[in-house]
Structures are given as C-alpha cells and as structure tokens.
Structure 1
Amino acid sequence: MTDTNPSPAMKAELGIGRILGGTFSLYFKHFPLFFGVVFVPYVFYMIVVVDPVNQSVTLDPTNPFANVGQSFLIAGLSMLLIIFLQAVIVRMSISLNGGQGAQLGAALRGALAGFLPILLLGIVAGIATMVGFFLLVVPGLYILALLYVYVPAIVFEKAGFSALGRSEELTKGYRWAIVGIVLVLVVINWVISAIYTAVVVTTVVDFSGIMDGTVDPNAIAASTPWWLNILASAVQAFTLPIGLIASGLVYARLREIKEGGSTGDLLKVFE
C-alpha cells in the first residue's frame, strides 16, 4: 500500500558558514569603503570631542566619581555615532550584497530617518539583553538573537517602533544559528581588541606606575600621544563593520527563506 501522506517540507537552513563567508567576502571586497565610512567620522569625533575632554580632566584617585559627567558625555556621543554608523553600514551591506552598489546617499537618508527608533529600541533591546545575561548567559544570547535584525527592519521596511516584533517574527526558528554567528564574531572582535590593548595601550600608559604612586594620573591624558586617537579610530573602523554586515546578511537570508525573492528584491521598498 502506497503512503499518500506528503513528506513534511524540510526547513531551509540559515547557513552559518554561508553568512560568515558572505560577511568576510563583502567586507574585504569593499574594505576601503567600509573602513572609510567609519574611520572619517570616528577620527573626527576622537580628535574634536574625546581629546579636548581628556585634556581638561583632572583625575582624583580619592574620588572616582569626580569625572562622571565627562565620562557620560563621551559615552553618550559615542553611542549616538555608532548607532548612526550602524544604520548606514547595514543599509550598504544589503544593497552591495544585492548587486545594487553601496548607495551611500540612500544609506545616509535611511540612517537619519530611522535614527530615533533605532536609538530608543536599541536601549530597550540592550536592557532586555542585559537582564538575560544577568539571569544566565544563555537567555541573554537568545534575546540578542531574537532582536538581531531590528535595525535592518527599520532601515529597509521602515518598521519604526514595530521593528522588535518584526525581528522576533523573522528570527523565529533560527535563533540558535544566529547565536552561533554572534559567538564567532565576538571571538574575532575580542582577539583584535586584546591585541590592540596588549600592544598599544600598555606601551603608552604605565599602569603599574599609577598603582604604586610613581606616576601622576593627572599627566596621563595630557601625555597621551595624538596618534593614539587615530589608531583607536582605525581599530574601530576595522572591527565595527564586520558584525553589522553580518546582521544585514542574516536579515536578507531570513527574508529569502520566509518570504521568497532575492536580496535585490529588498531594495524595491525604496522604489
């Protein structure tokens, strides 16, 4: 007797290797573009904002909270800059992957239009992820994966404040694969950051001297070489695009799996 029950359709794979391979292929193929988009505004920020603030700081070892205001200012401006760059690079990565070119102008417009939702939802997503990590690491990773494509949803679909729900919908069934991608990228960024810290920072700042009192902490900011700001900007420009390109490609792949079409079809929302 013939079995007339249809076989269940096999679930399409996200393809961790495909996403990572596509990420690095796109990254190195267009490296000058991605690097420049981050480096130019970031080095301006470091030289015009961070350096003058550091030069004006007077460190007081007896009062660790003396310069909280300056620290929050730098952190806040850095967050705003990274959010803007995040939106630009995600938009560029999907259009490049779809064979449409970088479309930098469209990427800048999309970043400006979606800036407020990205900022506010980013705070919500960050708090949710932090709570997950405090509970246990695994819930934090799961929440991170659940919210992984909210920025592309804002930039491409103009999802606005419904982008978290859209990300939840798209990532359903693929969150552990996304966790795998995130962990690989975290390790890569950690290695690069560790090398930068070990080779550069420890050769510039005498931390042992600070601890034993032989080095005046007030002299640290003033004695920090100017080129260190440029080098820090270069490291940021080298590492930041990698994870953002990956999120764009994950978004494109999830759209292909769940809604059909190709990466290039995503760009039709702008027509």
Structure 2
Amino acid sequence: MATKGQAGESLAIGAVLGRAFGVMRGNPLTVFGIAFLLGALPQGILGYAVRAEATSPDPAAQAGLVGLYMGYGLVVLLCSALAQSALVRASSAYLEGRSASIGESLSVGLAKVLPVIGVSILLSLGLMVGFLLLFVPAIILALMWIVAIPALVEENTGVIGAFGRSRYLTKGSRWQIFALMIVLLVIIWLVALLAFIPGAILGLGVVAAAVSPAATVLSLVTTTVTTALSSTLITTLYFALRERQDGPQAAQLADVFA
C-alpha cells in the first residue's frame, strides 16, 4: 500500500522505486501477465517475423518488408497503448490498497486505448521537434510530460489536458525525475543484456543470435520485466507527484468528484 506524503515534500527517488517493486511483488500475475501478453509477446512475434524476412534470400520476402514494418508499427502501438493503460490501472489499484484482476485492468485499458494512443503520438511528435532543436529541449519535454498517460487514465483529463496535468505535477521535481529515469535506463539496459548471453556463449553472429530459440525466450522474459517495471515505475511516480503537489488527500477527493 502507498505511504502518503505531504504536499510540497521533495520527491524521494528510493521511495518511488520501492513502491514500484512493491506493486510487482504484490500483484505479479496481473502485472507480469499484462506485460507479457500485450508487451513482450506481440513484440517478440512480430520482431521475429521482421528479422526472418530481412534475412530471407527470397526477393518476395524482401519486397514485403515495408508492409511488414508498417504492420509491425501499428500492432506494437496498439498493444503498447493497451498495456500502458492496463498496467496503470493495475498499479494504481495496488497503491490504493487492493489488487486489480487482469480482466479489470484490461477493461480500463480498452476504454482508454484510443486517448492513450493520441497522447503517445503527440508525445512522440513533441520529442521529435525537441530533438531537432537540439538534445536538451527533448529531455525537458520528456520530463515535463512523463506522467501524462497515468494522469489521463486515472483523472480522465483528456488528451490535451494530460500534458498540462503532467507539466503541473512534475514542476519542481524534474531533476529528481531525471535521476530516476537514469536509474530506470540502467536497469533496463542490464536486464536487456541477458537476451544476448546465449549468442555470446555460442559465439553466434548478431543476426543468428537474435533468432536463436534461447535468445527468443530470453527476449520475451526481459521484455516482460522491462515493460512491467517501466509502467509501474511511471505510475508510482505519478502518485508520488500527485501527493507532493495536491496533498495526501488528493486520491480521496478525486474519487468523490469523479
């Protein structure tokens, strides 16, 4: 269960990480089940198909790569949006002191999938513009908008309102959020390295290692873990920021006026 903070307190990175791991330990079936079904499995199947097509000597296979990439992008976008919104619900339910089933989480995810896709597309476009203007503006925008999706799912802010809500919640905490994201990236990088262990042991090339059965299984496992960790961490960050900015009674008030 979440530990309530006080409005205006400094964001505690360790507490946010601890709550994220607590969510995963407290409701593993729902969290890792959703991360696997909607995160790892679609990416694994489609990624394997893309790599197989790319390495095939058949000219027809090579010609179909463009369509395959487009289909890959659309399916991953849809599944990613559904996974994010479902994992936000599963995480927030645990932080509120109860366990959400896979069915409940997916129900919320389906209801929010289109707005979440809208937020994801606008976020990507905004970050692209930021990168064109140089690297620093993209980082600033990413930190400002990092909890837009949890805000959308939990507060029904709407697509545009989610960005403003995230900007408000992250104000005064962006250096701490930056440090937290560095920690997350390091963890993801270390976990992702596990998928390359079989190829390194067997001395396989990069392409051969990527399509080996052992690497495929490990890739599914690592993607499940990183998907679950990323979504739960962003959700626990959202709750911590909401408690910091709105006070410890924010959740109860939000329920009353929902």
TM-score bracket for this pair, using the shorter chain length: 0.7 to 0.9
User: Is the 1:38–1:237 Cα contact (8 Å) retained in structure 2?
Assistant: yes
Aligned length, in residue pairs: 249
* Alpha carbons 2:86, 2:105 under 8 Å: kept: yes
- Structure 1 CA distance, aligned partners of 2:147 and 2:68? 32
Amino acid at match of 1:137: F
1:254 equivalent in structure 2: 241
TM-score by length of 1: 0.77
Structure 2 unpaired stretches of 5+: 1-6
Kept in 1: contact 2:51–2:211 (CA 8 A): no
Equivalent residue for 1:20?
Answer: 17
Q: 1:68 is matched with which residue?
A: 66
**Percentage of identical aligned residues:** 28
Correspondence list, 1:56-135, <5 A? 59=56, 66=63, 67-135=65-133
Counterparts of 2:256 and 2:179 in 1: how far apart (Å)? 30
In structure 1, the partner of 2:32 is: 35
Deviations 1:121-167 (A, max 9, x none): 21111122233234443322221111111111111111122211221
Which residue does 1:193 correspond to in 2?
192
Give the whole-Å Cα distance in 1 for the aligned partners of 2:49 and 2:14: 44
- Offset of 1:236 from its aligned partner? 1.0
Offset of residue 47 of structure 1? 7.2
Pairwise CA distance, 1:251? 1.3
What is the Cα deviation at residue 228 of structure 1?
A: 4.3
Distance 1:150 1:21 in 2: 21
Give 1:39 deviation, angstroms: 1.7
Q: In the alignment, is the contact (CA less than 8 A) between 1:146 and 1:172 conserved in 2?
A: yes
| 2:149–2:162 contact (8 Å) kept in structure 1 | yes
How far apart in 2 are the matches of 1:255 and 1:15? 13
Q: CA deviation at 1:248?
A: 0.8
Q: Tell me how far apart the structure 1 counterparts of residues 40 and 235 of structure 2 sit (CA, whole Å).
A: 25
Distance 1:148 1:160 in 2: 15
Larger Cα-atom Rg: 1
Of residues 202, 224, 228, the one that matches 1:241 is: 228
Aligned CA-pair RMSD: 3.4
- The match for 1:265 among 232, 252, 258 is 252
Q: Distance in 2 between matches of 1:121 and 1:269?
A: 26
Q: C-alpha deviations, 1:99-130, integer Å up to 9, x for none?
A: 02224433222211211111122111112223
Give how far 1:182 is off: 1.0
**Secondary structure of 1:114's aligned partner:** helix
Q: Is the 8 A contact 2:30 2:102 kept in 1?
A: no
Distance in 2 of aligned mates of 1:48 and 1:190: 21
C-alpha distance in structure 2 between counterparts of 1:52 and 1:179, whole Å: 35
Equivalent residues in 2 for 1:99-248 (5 A)? 99-161=97-159, 162-197=161-196, 199-202=197-200, 203=202, 205-207=204-206, 224-226=211-213, 228-248=215-235
The Cα shift of 1:58 comes to 6.0
Length-normalised TM-score, structure 2: 0.80
- CA separation in 1, counterparts of 2:153 and 2:195? 32
What is the distance in 2 between the residues matched to 1:117 and 1:251? 18
Question: CA, structure 1 residues 149+112, in 2 after alignment: closer, same or farther (shift >3 Å)?
Answer: same
C-alpha displacement at 1:183, in angstroms?
1.2
1:6 paired residue number? none
Query: Residue 268 and residue 235 in structure 1: after superposition, are their counterparts in 2 closer, same or farther (change >3 A)?
Result: same
Paired letter, 2:36:
F
Deviations 1:192-245 (A, max 9, x none): 213323x135548534xx8xxxxxxxxx69x94455443322211111111211
